Chains A and B, each alone.
Chain A
């Protein structure tokens, strides 16, 4: 069995006097959807931003495909094949789907872009994800629904041949039906062998799509369990109290004084 595609070991991160991440271990396997859950302020987004190269880690190691790596900028992360999709649908409204998917990485030479080639690649990618809900790849993004925008953002990650896709609350701004469409896409990404990290507050979503659930509690990784081994209420306990039965932090009475 191969090693995890992405592994964090003992990662610490402070903002001034506030320590946000305490010795966090986190593993992402290719082909699995790993849900990252936790209360507000538990450190989920900080963890993702550390991997994405937005915040450098203070202490700890990051391994990509078994090799130790230093990620100091978003470019480093993109080079490794780590792509992040943010909840606020980070696309440029005034550009069309193709322009958005190639934003900053256009093909062709500086005085003449290869529009036809880019359009074909965009169409191929959307087709490989069986996304047929978008009628034309030349539609401006402002004309798309929230679900379609999120689809384009995810397709962008696939187009760049990413190995790990981290989705920070991809469905927070979406309605029920669109949420289902995006979750369906998330599952199919994993089935193609990508490592997927899904941050979500919605337990129904988490249970519907994830293979593993990693729980952060006040900056500590308290549990990393297979979804089929736990129940809704156990995960909620882990999120709110940091422990549930045998899972999570040790009970105070078990700690010897």
Chain B
């Protein structure tokens, strides 16, 4: 099962073609395997890609010649005979810029082959610095600093935005929590950085990150749900991202769950986001709604010993209600909880797991949807943005 996404979000297809195309295809496939799953022997590559050893040798030799991979004798030998050489990608052979625009801060990283973070920056956003112009200027300045510091040029840019994005040209229709509307983000960033820029919805990139580098590596049907200021969800169905009309993704955070709930800025009332987002968690904990992330994490940690029953009871009910809805709708193998949800105390997550299983007939039918905490934590969207940027780059190295 290929975990790669083609340019349009459909799995890359292999079909008969001219020899040079085949070579290029094999080269990209081999590099993608090394990028996603790390160093391995030539023999493993041959087995996994279904190519014979001489083809693998030709492709690896080509990559080694251009300095993208190195080969070494494995330390641990298995079996008799001449050991197969380990093929190790060089993280600095090709790098991309990943940008994660959040409501309160922007995080940036220069990421090398294999997903290694070579350098990173971040800065807080205040009311005055949250405008698109300010953010784009700061990104351009930081990009230059990062590239100079690490001394590896970037070949592409991936950007995560908490809002509704048109994938084709990176147009941000609406990012309500940022206060952005109709921003030609992809075009403007491309103009200042002089690199190909791809922009996507943050939750969709979180799902991609979990699929490629997180908890859901071997799975094909997953839902990633994360809470920051807003709540977003990304869906991978049959190994490819689930998108709607003209490539727009749905907003799981704005499923109405509570008819008598608070009005939401989206125009509805009692959305899942208004019940389980950062503000709702602050209310449950008795903190001011604008509390810093660390304060919320510290407060949750102080509950950890014995959190249920406690101040989180009602909040957790709404979390369960939404999750049951999502599981019943999508029938995923796994739901990954990301960002702020990763700070929830362990016993609370266990309770959520049990309750969702009890209340969802779909979960019972498919043998129990797993509900897991994201191992990538706060970095999931950054990792996803890097993978988005790598897609076209790997084919061209």
B-contacting residues of A (Cβ < 8 Å)? Answer: 1-2, 5, 29-33, 130, 132-133, 176-178, 180-181, 183-184, 187-188, 190-194, 207-209, 211, 227-228
* Shortest Cβ distance from residue A2 to the other chain B in the assembled complex, whole angstroms: 5
Chain A residues lying within 8 Å of B299, measured Cβ to Cβ, are: 1-2, 31
Q: Does B148 contact A (CB under 8 A)?
A: yes
Closest to B343 in A: A193
Judging by beta carbons under 8 Å apart, are A178 and B149 in contact? yes
**Contact (Cβ within 8 A) A31 B293:** yes
A191→B378 contact, CB < 8 A: yes
In B177-220, which residues have CB < 8 Å from any A CB? none
Stretch from B72-80, B118-126, B229-237 forming part of the interface with A? B118-126
Contact B294–A184 (Cβ < 8 Å): no
Let me know if B148 and A191 touch, CB within 8 A. no
In the assembled complex, the Cα of A184 lies from the Cα of B105 at a distance in Å of 11
Within 8 Å CB of A227, what residues of B? 124, 126
Residues of B within 8 A of A33 (CB): 292, 294
B120 engages A208 (CB within 8 Å) = no
Instruction: Write the residues of chain B forming the contact surface with A, with a CB cutoff of 8 angstroms.
Output: 105, 107, 116-124, 126-127, 142, 145-146, 148-149, 285-287, 290, 292-299, 301-302, 378-379
Complex CA gap A209/B121 in Å reads: 11
Bound form: Cα–Cα A2–B120 in Å: 32
Q: CB-CB < 8 A to B301: which residues of A? A: 193
Residue contact A32 to B120, C-beta cutoff 8 Å: no
CB-CB under 8 A from B119, the residues of chain A are: 133, 177, 181
Q: Complex: how many Å from CA A209 to CA B126? A: 11
B149 x A177 contact (CB < 8 A)? yes
B282 to chain A, nearest CB (A): 10
Interchain Cβ contacts under 8 Å between A and B, 25 examples: A1-B285, A1-B287, A1-B299, A29-B295, A30-B295, A31-B293, A31-B294, A31-B296, A31-B297, A32-B292, A33-B294, A130-B120, A132-B116, A132-B117, A180-B145, A181-B120, A183-B122, A184-B107, A188-B122, A190-B292, A194-B298, A209-B123, A211-B294, A227-B126, A228-B127
- Chain A residue nearest in CB terms to B149: A177
Question: Provided the pairs A130-B117, A181-B121 are in contact, do residues A191 and B297 lie with their beta carbons within 8 angstroms?
Answer: yes
Cross-interface CB contact of B298 among A2, A188, A211, cutoff 8 Å: A2
Task: State in angstroms the CA–CA spacing of A102 and B142 once bound together.
Answer: 34
Q: Looking across the interface, which residue of chain A has its beta carbon closest to that of B138?
A: A208
A133-B127 Cα distance, complex, nearest whole Å: 32
> B294 touches which one: A32, A132, A181 (CB < 8 A)?
A32
User: In the complex, which residues of chain A have a beta carbon less than 8 angstroms from the beta carbon of B120?
Assistant: 130, 181, 184
Which residue of B has the minimal Cβ distance to A128?
Answer: B377
CB distance from A137 to the nearest CB of B (A): 15
Q: Which residue of A lies closest to B300 (CB)?
A: A193
**Residues from chain A with Cβ under 8 Å of B126 in the complex:** 207, 227-228
Of all chain B residues, the one with the shortest Cβ separation from A192 is B297
Contact: A194 with B294, CB < 8 Å? yes
Report Cα–Cα, A121/B384, bound state, in Å. 28
Q: Give the complex CA separation of A5 and B295 in angstroms.
A: 11
CB <8 Å contact, B148 and A177: yes
Q: Is the CB of B145 within 8 A of A176?
A: yes
- Is the beta-carbon distance between A208 and B298 smaller than 8 angstroms? no
CA distance A133 to B142 in the complex (A): 17
Instruction: Please indicate which of the listed interface residues A1, A31, A188 has the most CB atoms of chain B within 10 Å of its own CB.
Output: A31
When distances are taken between beta carbons in the complex, the residues of chain A under 8 Å from B118 are 132-133
CB nearest to B146 among chain A residues: A177
Asked if B298 and A31 make an inter-chain contact with CB atoms under 8 angstroms apart, the answer reads: yes
Contacts A1-B287, A187-B122 known; 10 new A-B pairs at CB < 8 A: A29-B295, A30-B295, A30-B298, A31-B296, A130-B379, A133-B119, A188-B378, A190-B293, A193-B298, A211-B294
Q: Which residues of A contact B298 (CB under 8 A)?
A: 2, 5, 29-31, 193-194
Q: How far is the CA of A184 from the CA of B116 in the complex (A)?
A: 17
The 10 closest A-B pairs by CB, nearest first: A31-B294, A30-B298, A177-B149, A193-B298, A31-B295, A31-B298, A190-B294, A193-B297, A180-B121, A177-B145
A142 to chain B, nearest CB (A): 20
A residues less than 8 Å from B121 (CB atoms): 180-181, 184
- In the complex formed, the residue of A with least CB distance to B297 is A193
Least Cβ–Cβ distance between A7 and chain B, in angstroms: 15
Complex CA gap A209/B117 in Å reads 21
Instruction: Find the residue from B118, B123, B148, B301 having the highest chain A CB count within 10 A.
Output: B123
CB-based nearest B residue for A209: B124
Bound together, the chains give a CA A177 to CA B145 distance in angstroms of 6
Q: List the B residue with the shortest CB-CB distance to A194.
A: B294
Question: Which residues of chain A come closer than 8 Å to B127, judged between CB atoms?
Answer: 228
Interchain nearest-CB distance for B385 vs A (Å): 15
Measured between beta carbons, the chain A residues less than 8 angstroms from B149 are 177-178, 181
Chain A min CB distance to B45 (Å): 24
For A5, A187, A209, the residue with the greatest tally of chain B CB atoms inside 10 Å of its CB is A187
Residues of A within 8 A of B295 (CB): 29-32
